[in-house]
Structure 1
Amino acid sequence: MTVIKILPHAELCPQGRTIEAAPGTSVCEALLENGIEIEHACDMSCACTTCHVVVRQGYDSLGELDESEEDLLDRAWGLEPQSRLSCQAIVSGTDLTIEIPKYTINHARENH
């Protein structure tokens, strides 16, 4: 199992958290399976940026970005060189540290 350390986020996990995920799982799936309700407005189909995360440690283990993810990331709030869409970032065997940005560009939040 891969350890994912989530840095504190005021709404989603104020104290921060450490979870485990099986290799082959997306970061988004791992967060949701562990009760961290990251937004994912497009149902993890790589069509929005609401699941944007910044990978503070382990970025290179997630593999290359494809062109559609790169294009979408250009529209993400708080974009950084280590940004990924968590629905496209597939966990390998390397531990990760991620930060969920404070804001998203989702103007119509459902179930909130």
Structure 2
Amino acid sequence: MPQIIVLPHPELCPEGAVIDDVQPGESICQALLDHDIEIEHACEMSCACTTCHVIVREGLESLNEADELEEDMLDKAWGLEPNSRLSCQAIVAAEDLVVELPRYTINLARENH
């Protein structure tokens, strides 16, 4: 089974984490949520926002390709990088991943806008 290494994030995962029991075919977002890493997912994982944006530091090539809708949504993400994905759309395959959670998201509801 592949593992996801989550780099430390000051609020969501201060110590970082290693998730050893990720099922291939599962989204990164669901794997994080299943292991009590409360990544934002304001649209309930329907690819309609960017709050679950992650940066895949290792293993990006093993994920499914981003479709046009995801690419369009990513253009709106804070801190976009070439290896950014929406974690709700990034499906784990057989390789290990190293994932960074951006410090900020664009979540107007959470930020009282």
| TM-score normalised by the chain length of structure 2 | 0.95
Aligned to 2:78: 77
Alpha-carbon separation, structure 2, partners of 1:107 and 1:75: 13
Percent of pairs identical after alignment? 67
Q: Report the aligned-residue RMSD.
A: 1.0
**Displacement of 1:38 after TM fit?**
0.1
Q: Which stretches of structure 1, 4 residues or more, deviate above 3 A after TM superposition? A: none
* Residue type at the aligned position of 1:3: Q
* Residue type at the aligned position of 2:19: I
- Cα deviation, 1:9-48, whole Å, max 9, x if unaligned, reads 0000001000031000000000000000000000000000
Gaps of 5+ in 2: none
1:1-112 mapped onto 2 (5 Å cutoff): 1-20=1-20, 21-109=22-110
Gaps of 5+ in 1: none
